[in-house]
Structure 1
């Protein structure tokens, strides 16, 4: 069992993958699928539809844009430089997953459960992310989520040094959510983020966003 050091003195369990057990293969997502112990380099899964399970997979440079998946279970898997733009993942169970340098513009991601899920240096602008439950942590580090919609239970979600310009929050819970170090200019829905942590440098942007949300007008 391997752990990743996360921002804010946290740690999370990394995917449990033994490279010696992986076989070269394709990330074939059409129809019903059960993909296990694979190393995938490249491949085109643009616009496919399917449901099933992905376990112990290391996928690099796979094109999954516009794919419609769900319900889907993903366990102990690493995605590197994968294109998820305008894809839709429904009723997703995600456990010990890493998304590294992925492109996910316009991704519609419905997380029924997220357990130790980590995004790094990924682009999720205009994404719609809905979270029912987080176990452990869901961390986004150095990601862009400009104009994204982020909804649901945001407890224990960490946004570390992310660009949230113009993002909209629709939180049902936010206790333990950490926004420190992230850009909040033009964000909406901060009134739903009760219990989230900000740093002092974010106070001005947060105040302006809350005033707008409350329908107040500033005048001389």
Structure 2
């Protein structure tokens, strides 16, 4: 089943922004392009980004807790080890981004697409995701413990060691993903789609012995 994701709605003409000045003086940032630039060590809460295009921006080790992102594009950005806990993301795209160790814990996402991203060891625990797709991404060791997913897609992703404990996987298609091990509760696998060559992984999860 193909998951439909609504794309961000950006204006044709966006202004260039001085992001640090904006963050210091505004609660809401809208209709701007940010980057290329480095924004290291930021620490803000409850900032709203509306119709913003981040291009080649480094936000690693920064904190934007409880932020709202609506109609936002992150392109060629580095958010490694950034703190984005308890955020709300609506119609957001990540293209060719580094999301290594990024903390999205307890965030809400709807109509979010990540393409060609590296998200190894990212934290998506306790998140709520609806119409969210990861495609051609590396998500090895990523933690989705107890995430609530609806219309959730993993397409051609590397997901070895991903934590899917307490995640209801009905309707989720793993058949085109690469993995040798998963952390998952067997009872949550009902309705999950896999490829024949992946069956041996799930035999082990179920404690079965094939002779």
Gaps of 5+ in 2: none
Q: Shift of residue 169 of structure 1?
A: 1.2
Deviations, residues 142-201 of structure 1 (Å, cap 9, x unaligned)? 000111111211232111010011112123433332222001212111524443222323
SS for the counterpart of 2:200 is: helix
In structure 2, C-alpha distance between the alignment counterparts of 1:36 and 1:164, rounded to whole Å = 34
Q: Structure 1 residues 142, 30: CA separation in 2 closer, same or farther (over 3 Å shift)?
A: farther
| C-alpha contact (below 8 Å) 2:176/2:195 kept by paired residues | yes
The size of the alignment, in residue pairs, is 206
* Corresponding residue of 2:121: 126
| TM-score, length of structure 1 as denominator length | 0.84
The match for 1:11 among 4, 22, 35 is 4
Structure that is richer in strand per residue: 1
| TM-score, length of structure 2 as denominator length | 0.88
Question: Bigger relative contact order, structure 1 or 2, given CA contacts below 8 A and separation 6+?
Answer: 2
| C-alpha contact (below 8 Å) 2:203/2:209 kept by paired residues | no
Residue 191 of structure 2 corresponds to residue 195 of structure 1:
yes
Q: Structure 1 residues 98, 111: CA separation in 2 closer, same or farther (over 3 Å shift)?
A: farther
Q: Structure 1 residues 190, 122: CA separation in 2 closer, same or farther (over 3 Å shift)?
A: farther
Q: How does 1:87-126 map to 2 (within 5 A)?
A: 87-126=82-121
CA RMSD for the aligned pairs? Answer: 2.2
In structure 2, C-alpha distance between the alignment counterparts of 1:144 and 1:84, rounded to whole Å = 15
